[in-house]
A and B are shown apart, each in its own frame.
Chain A
Amino acid sequence: MVGLADTIIQGVLLGGLYALFAAGLSLTFGIMRLVNLAHGDLIVLAAFAILALATWLAVDPFVALLVALPLMFGVGLGLQHLLLNRTLGHGILPPLLVTFGLSIIIQNGLMQGFSADSQRLQAGAIETASVSLGGGITVGLMPLATFGSAVLVILGLNFLFYRTALGRAFRATSDDLEIAELMGIDHRRIFSLAMGVAMIVATIAALYLGMRANFDPTIGPARLLYAFEAVIIGGLGSFWGTLAGGVIIGLAQTIGAEINPEWQILAGHLAFLFVLVLRPRGLFPRALD
């Protein structure tokens, strides 16, 4: 029994990390129907940014994060303003091609700058610290912090979306871009801000990605896949759905790994397929398309 409870707790906590990967994707897809194939690579880029800042400033990754957040917000703004806004509104293909190209450019750029060696964000004692939940179950402080951060990020995004002027503009633009323009909303500016916010979430995801395991410039696409699955399981446009999606994949992976370590990744994808068959629009769909 302890074994099963332990597996479930580990799975749920792992789901927090996947939800962090996915939340930024959910945001950009929800607002501008942009399928960002470079999202995973942007997370890896943020992880390298935290690594470089931590090394350069000789500080803890958590402190480096505080510097990386505004930097990556700027990267998101600039990327959307200079590049991605030009790809939208001409069908589904241009943004796919451009973000696919961007994914390759980021990977190779990072390879050039940081080599293909795998890296790790060193956080010291907190990495191995754990807390006891009683009943013989202990959980690591890091997975707990990851999940807690995911919940805070989702709460923050929901607050932004439903309680602020910017959020109303996000929702209005998502509903009907042409009418939003008639209401005085500059949709390009809104899109740029949305990408900036998505990059803030991606940078938080990057911190936990880099502290949990080794990373190198090429691991982005695999993270993107988990993120996509979480978004689609949850239903497009629902942040809590995205968290649920992350948890479902995390659970499936840990339970799969418990049965046979080789089944870890496969079990996650099977869970995704299973949900898709039962609920093609995801568990909590908000957006209609």
Chain B
Amino acid sequence: MFEKDPSLDEFRDGLPELPSDNEAGKRRMRRLISALAVLVLFLGFLSLANTPPGAQIVSGKGAVEGVVLTSSGEPFQGEVLILGSNQTVRTNADGSFRLENVPAGEQSLILLGENGGNEIRIHISRGETYQVGVIRFVETAMP
């Protein structure tokens, strides 16, 4: 029960010297710095989580491929591009396309026809090819 209590032997030479004010102050300072560092780390993570999708920190490149058909099932003839990049191709005669060197991360795949276009959100992973499969070009109601 009492074995953890200090023994009288420890006080043979008198009471132990209390830490000086300087040392206590230093300890307080270090504790404050540690607490602030933890707070800054937490805020940093929070800030990163709040980063808008447009501001990507993903690196590397991938590819995307698929086939585009018109609403009537014919091969779509038009441009396919990644918004904000210079990756643009024209669809092949059968409506198929493949875009290389697409920056990794969330991207907007744009299909541009004669009078308008469609946007499809895709996620490109580094070194991989995203398969959009067969997609239908939706004629937009033009004003």
Q: Say whether A and B bind each other.
A: no
Binding site for B on A (CB under 8 A): none
Binding site for A on B (CB under 8 A): none
